[in-house]
């Protein structure tokens, strides 16, 4: 990463952020904001693709997600935080892109397929099927080069690269191809899928110590390990996956202990629960600081959105010129 990167990433405003976001994306953002110009998108429009009938979830959570960012110490002086729906140029660019993106290329996108299945969609909504196109516009509008995301997003970044390439070939090379920086994937408490806001298998960043304790009770361990001294298989244990994420230095010891049956599941769970408490405590403190200062949050969002609006206008001037649709 020797060139000057412009970083963009964001989250759907469908609920508060959880440990999966921390491991998969927020940690990378924290590191990158120290080096590069960073943009963070509160994706309220993309949230509508699955929540068009529950807009209140989105308006109720917008500030919650902003609070999540600030409480993990994303710094508004280094990271520009902005609201997607307040940048109408993104919607405009999405329309232009959609002229040359085929329906089949979207249907075959593996993340779209998985998400459609998880949500029980037999027929897909046009906006949902097309959300990778709107993500490509998110990236292109601010000429982002580097996108720190979880692995479910890899097909979308690949598609965005193709869309930008096609646009540049068709009209003029004014847009920039982004690349992904992929974070770890954290599995959910149920052990079946990734930790996710919508699947009821998450530990949220604002959870109280009691809530964490309670939720960790549900976390799946190796089902074949019935007695404390039975040898276990760490590779199918959610608690071991959490060790890898939150206490990587203790992993080899835990792995051996589990395989030999010298460390029991309860003790193992307790150790990783303590690590999660340790991680969340300062985040909770920072959150309560900002919770008492709603005006500061509004100012941060207004300022970040204004900054991004300028960039979006300038990119769209170039786009329209490239396409020859700047008539008057």
Scan residues 30-49 and list those touching ligand ATP (CB under 6 A): none
Scan residues 180-209 and list those touching ligand ATP (CB under 6 A): 183, 185-186, 194-198
Sign of CA dihedral 143, 319, 135, 10: positive
Comparison of 14 and 84: residue with beta carbon closer to ligand ATP: 14
Q: How far is the CB of 49 from ligand ATP (least distance, A)?
A: 10
Given 7, 8, 16, 24, the residue binding ligand ATP (CB under 6 A): 24
Comparison of 97 and 128: residue with beta carbon closer to ligand ATP: 128
Burial-class residue 163 by CB neighbours within 10 Å (0-12, 13-18, 19+): buried
Comparison of 194 and 307: residue with beta carbon closer to ligand ATP: 194
Token duo for residue 296: 């500061």
CA angle 121, 122, 126 (to 5 degrees): 70
Q: Determine the Cα–Cα distance for residues 74 and 305; give it in Å rounded to an integer.
A: 16
Q: Determine the Cα–Cα distance for residues 292 and 296; give it in Å rounded to an integer.
A: 9
By the rule CB under 6 A, 93 interacts with ligand ATP: no
C-beta atoms surrounding 45 within 10 Å? 24
Q: Which H or E run includes 8? A: strand 6-12
By the rule CB under 6 A, 161 interacts with ligand ATP: no
Given 5, 16, 21, 97, the residue binding ligand ATP (CB under 6 A): 21
Give 112-119 contacts, CB < 8 A, sequence gap 24+: 112/155, 114/152, 118/193, 118/199, 119/50
Comparison of 20 and 155: residue with beta carbon closer to ligand ATP: 20
Q: Which stretch binds ligand ATP (CB under 6 A): 67-75, 179-187, 253-261, 267-275?
A: 179-187
Q: Which stretch binds ligand ATP (CB under 6 A): 137-145, 149-157, 263-271, 276-284?
A: 149-157
Q: Which stretch binds ligand ATP (CB under 6 A): 20-28, 30-38, 55-63, 213-221?
A: 20-28
Given 5, 11, 89, 138, the residue binding ligand ATP (CB under 6 A): 11
- Give the β-pairing of 179-182 and 37-43: unpaired
By the rule CB under 6 A, 138 interacts with ligand ATP: no
C-beta atoms surrounding 300 within 10 Å? 21
By the rule CB under 6 A, 132 interacts with ligand ATP: no
């Amino acid at each position: 990463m020797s060139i000057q990167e412009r970083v963009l990433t964001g989250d759907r405003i469908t609920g508060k952020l959880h440990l999966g976001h921390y491991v998969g994306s927020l940690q990378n953002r924290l590191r990158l904001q120290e080096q590069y110009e960073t943009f963070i998108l509160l994706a309220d429009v993309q949230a509508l693709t699955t929540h068009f009938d529950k807009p209140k979830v989105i308006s109720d959570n917008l500030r919650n997600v902003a609070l999540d960012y600030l409480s993990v110490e994303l710094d508004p002086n280094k990271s520009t935080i902005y609201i997607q729906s307040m940048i109408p140029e993104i919607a405009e660019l999405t329309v232009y892109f959609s002229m040359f993106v085929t329906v089949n290329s979207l249907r075959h996108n593996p993340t779209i397929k998985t998400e459609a299945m998880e949500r029980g969609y037999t027929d897909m909504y046009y906006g949902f099927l097309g959300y990778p196109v709107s993500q490509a516009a998110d990236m292109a509008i601010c000429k982002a080069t580097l996108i720190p995301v979880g692995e479910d997003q890899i097909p979308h970044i690949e598609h965005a690269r193709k869309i930008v390439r096609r646009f540049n070939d068709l009209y003029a090379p004014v847009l920039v191809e982004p690349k992904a920086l992929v974070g770890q994937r954290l599995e959910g408490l149920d052990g079946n899928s990734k930790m996710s806001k919508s699947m009821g298998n998450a530990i949220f960043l604002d959870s109280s110590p009691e809530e964490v304790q309670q939720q960790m009770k549900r976390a799946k361990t190796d089902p074949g390990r019935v007695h404390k001294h039975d040898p276990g298989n760490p590779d199918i244990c959610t608690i071991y996956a959490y060790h890898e994420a939150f206490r990587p230095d203790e992993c080899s010891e835990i792995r051996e202990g589990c395989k030999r049956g010298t460390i029991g599941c309860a003790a193992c769970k307790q150790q990783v629960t303590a690590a999660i408490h340790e991680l969340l405590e300062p985040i909770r403190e920072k959150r309560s600081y900002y919770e008492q200062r709603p005006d500061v949050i509004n100012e941060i969002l207004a300022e970040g959105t204004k900054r991004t609006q300028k960039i979006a206008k300038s990119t769209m001037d170039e786009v329209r010129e490239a396409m020859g649709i700047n008539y008057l």
